[in-house]
Amino acid sequence: MKKRKVAIFTGNRAEYGLQYPIIKAIDEHPNLEYFLLVSGAHLQEDFGSTKKEIEKDGFKIFREVHLETISDDLYSTANSIGTGISNLSKILNELKPDFHIVYADRFEGLAAVVASTQMNIPTAHIEGGDVTEGGALDDSVRHAMTKLSHLHFCTNEEAKNRIINLGEETWRIHNVGFPAIDLLANRNYASHIELQNLYNLDESSPVIIFTQHSVTTEFNDSANQILPSLKALNKLSVEENFKIIITYPNNDAGGKKIIDQINSFSWENDSNITIIGSLGRYNYHGIFNYCSNVVSGACVGNSSSGIKETPYFGLPTVNIGSRQDKRLRSTNVIDADYNEKQIIESIKKCVFSKEFRAESKNCINPYGKGNSGDQIAEVISNVKIDKTLFRKKITY
C-alpha cells in the first residue's frame, strides 16, 4: 500500500507542542508519512525563533511558509493571512498531499485551511468546537476553520456537540481528547533536577510560571493589561521570595507591546526573575509538574495551557482577564481581573492554601487521558478519500 502524504501545518510554539504526539504517531504509522510546514512565530526571532525546538526534536521540516509581518496591529494580521494563503498554496501545489492537518484557532491556521480546502485537499481540523468568548478573535476563526474542513478531531464532548450544532455530519467528527495529554501520560517532560539546573530553582521557594497573551480585539491595551500582573509578580518575588519564570506571548497583534513591557519593567529582585522567549514543551510541562509535585507553585496568565493542561497535573492556576472566558475548565482554576491586589490574593491562595491545592490535585480533567495521536493517525490512514469527503452537507 502506498503511503499517504500528510502535510502538517504549524505556526507557533504552543500549537506545535500540542501537535508533537500527532506528528510522532504519523511518523510511526506504516501507511503514512508526514511533511511538516513551519510558519508564523516559529520563524520570527522576536518570538523566540521556535523552529529550533522542532529541529531539536528530530522532525524534518519540509518547507518554511513565510508570512509578511508589517507591524504589531490587526492590519498586519490580515496581511499575513493573505501572504500565508499565497505562499502555502504554492507549496501545497508542489507537494500534492493526500491530507492536510491544521490545529486550533489562529490566523496562520485560517490561512492554511483556506489554501488547502480551496485546492480540494482533504483537510483535518484539530480542536474545533471549543469556546473562548474573551475578546480574542479565536471563536470566529476556529468555527470558520471547522466549516471549511473535512474532518474534525475535537478534545471533549462539549466541543463535539457544538460541531454537530454547526451543522457538520457526525461521521466527520471524532472526539480523540487533548493531544498534549499523550505527552504527559508518557511523562515526556523535564525532571525537577533538569529544571533546577536550568533555571536556578530550589525546593525552598514557590515557583510561578507566567504567560500573558494579547486580547486581540483589545490589542492597543495589551501593555496596560499586563502591568498589574507584572507588579503583582514583582511584589511576590520580593516579599515572598517567589521564583518567577516569564515566557513571551504569541505573535498576535499587541504581542510585541507585551514583550517590551516585560523587558522594560523595573524588577526589584532580578535574581528571582527568569525571562525567556520560549521554554519549549519539554521544559514547560516539566515546570507544571515541578509546581504541582515538587514545590508549591502555580500557573498564572491567560494561556489556554493554564486551562487545558494544568488539570492533568492538578496544578492550581490563576487565569487573568477575559481571554479564556467560557472555555471548558476544571476546578483548579481561579479567575482574576487586571487588578494587582486580586492577582496577588489569587496566587497566594494557589500557593499557600492546603485546601485549594488538595482540591486542585483531585480535579477532574475534562480533556481525555491520552492516545490522541494514534487515534488521529488511524482515522487519517483509513478514511475514504472520495466525493463524499469533499461534498460538505449541513445537517439539521
Query: What is the tens place of the pLDDT at every residue in 98-120?
Result: 999 999 898 999 999 999 999 99
Closest CA to 41 of 29, 53, 59: 53
Check pLDDT > 60 for residue 274: yes
Separation of alpha carbons 27 and 23, rounded Å = 6
Q: Which is more confident, 396 or 62?
A: 62
Assigned C-alpha cell, 208 = 510561578
Assigned C-alpha cell, 127 = 480542536
Check pLDDT > 90 for residue 134: no
Q: Is the dihedral of CA 313, 316, 320, 321 positive or negative?
A: positive
Q: CA 365 → CA 138, 216, 238, 315, 328, distances in Å?
A: 22, 28, 34, 11, 10
DSSP 39: E
**Contact residues for 211 (Cβ-Cβ < 8 A; gap 6+):** 246, 247, 248, 249, 301, 302, 303, 305, 306
Q: Rounded mean pLDDT of 46-61?
A: 83
Confidence of residue 351 (pLDDT cuts 50, 70, 90): very high
Check pLDDT > 90 for residue 235: yes
Buried b (16+ CB within 10 A) or exposed e, 181-208: bbbbeeebbbebeebeebbebeeebbbb
Separation of alpha carbons 37 and 107, rounded Å = 15
Query: What is the tens place of the pLDDT at every residue in 137-195?
Result: 778 999 999 999 999 999 999 999 999 999 999 999 999 999 999 989 999 999 999 99
Closest CA to 176 of 113, 125, 108, 116: 125
Write down the mean pLDDT value for the chain.
93
Determine the pLDDT at residue 52.
86
Q: CA 325 → CA 34, 67, 180, 346, distances in Å?
A: 35, 29, 21, 17
Determine the pLDDT at residue 68.
82
Q: If DSSP states are collapsed to H, E and C, what string results for 215-236?
A: CHHHHHHHHHHHHHHHHHHHHH
**In which residue are the cell numbers 504527559 written?**
184
Assigned C-alpha cell, 82 = 493573505
Confidence of residue 61 (pLDDT cuts 50, 70, 90): very high
Strand extents, DSSP E, the chain: 4-10, 32-39, 61-65, 99-103, 123-126, 151-154, 173-175, 207-211, 243-247, 273-276, 298-301, 317-320, 333-336
Q: Is the dihedral of CA 159, 162, 168, 171 positive or negative?
A: positive
CB neighbours (10 Å) of residue 94? 9
Write the DSSP assignment of 289-315 as a string of letters: HHHHHTSS-EEEES-THHHHTHHHHT-
Check pLDDT > 60 for residue 133: yes
Residue 28's SS3 state is helix
User: What are the φ/ψ torsions at residue 10 (nearest 5 degrees)?
Assistant: -135, 135
Separation of alpha carbons 158 and 328, rounded Å = 8
Check pLDDT > 60 for residue 328: yes
Determine the pLDDT at residue 41.
79
Domains belonging to the chain, first-starting first, are 4-176+371-390 (3.40.50.2000), 192-361 (3.40.50.2000)
Determine the pLDDT at residue 47.
59
Closest CA to 138 of 281, 367, 285, 322: 322
Check pLDDT > 80 for residue 48: no
